[in-house]
């Protein structure tokens, strides 16, 4: 739940977002949900239909955010078997304040190249 010191807002966007890992396009969307949260860069949450889910594997990692809810994570496996652990996350049941991100996926910008047009 947002406070006076910490806010979080989810809003539909119209930017074209392309996500690449090791030069491979793993997601591309023109219907992101943008999350603006105090102290963090803008995060782009993409609908699962716009993500190459066959390249992702669910992990057992779970985290809790008091502003968004409980997150689940996925790892990326490239064609050679190399795995990048927990590079994608999603909120299957987010808090009401950010309901727009339900089941959308977001990528860590430290593990993926996120290109915004």
| Helix (H/G/I), strand (E/B), else coil: 1 | coil
Superfamily of domain 8-116: Domain of unknown function (DUF427) (2.170.150.40)
Residue 104: which region, alpha, beta or left (left: phi > 0; alpha: psi -120 to 50)?
beta
Angle subtended at Cα 66 by Cα 57 and Cα 92, rounded to the nearest 5 degrees:
35
Residue 2 pLDDT greater than 70, yes or no: no
Containing 21, the helix (H) or strand (E) segment is: strand 17-21
pLDDT number for residue 79: 79
Residue 111: C-alpha distances to residues 3, 23, 71, 89 (Å): 30, 11, 18, 12
Tokens 């309901």 belong to which residue?
99
| Helix (H/G/I), strand (E/B), else coil: 82 | coil
Instruction: Name the pTM for this structure.
Output: 0.93
pLDDT digits (tens, 9 = 90+) for 61-105: 999 999 999 999 999 998 788 899 999 999 999 999 999 999 999
Dig out the tokens for 90 from the structure: 């999603």
Query: What phi, psi does 86 have (nearest 5°)?
Result: 50, 55
């Amino acid at each position: 739940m947002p406070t006076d010191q910490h806010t979080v807002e989810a809003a539909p966007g119209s930017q074209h977002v392309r996500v690449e890992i090791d030069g491979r396009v793993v997601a591309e969307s023109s219907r992101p949900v943008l999350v603006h949260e105090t102290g963090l860069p803008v995060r782009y949450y993409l609908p699962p239909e716009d993500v190459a889910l066959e390249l992702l594997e669910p992990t057992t990692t779970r985290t809790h955010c008091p502003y968004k809810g409980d997150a689940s994570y996925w790892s990326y496996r490239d064609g050679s078997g190399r795995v990048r652990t927990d590079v994608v996350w999603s909120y299957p049941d987010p808090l009401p304040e950010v309901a727009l991100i339900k089941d959308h996926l977001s990528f860590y910008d430290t593990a993926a190249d996120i290109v915004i047009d």
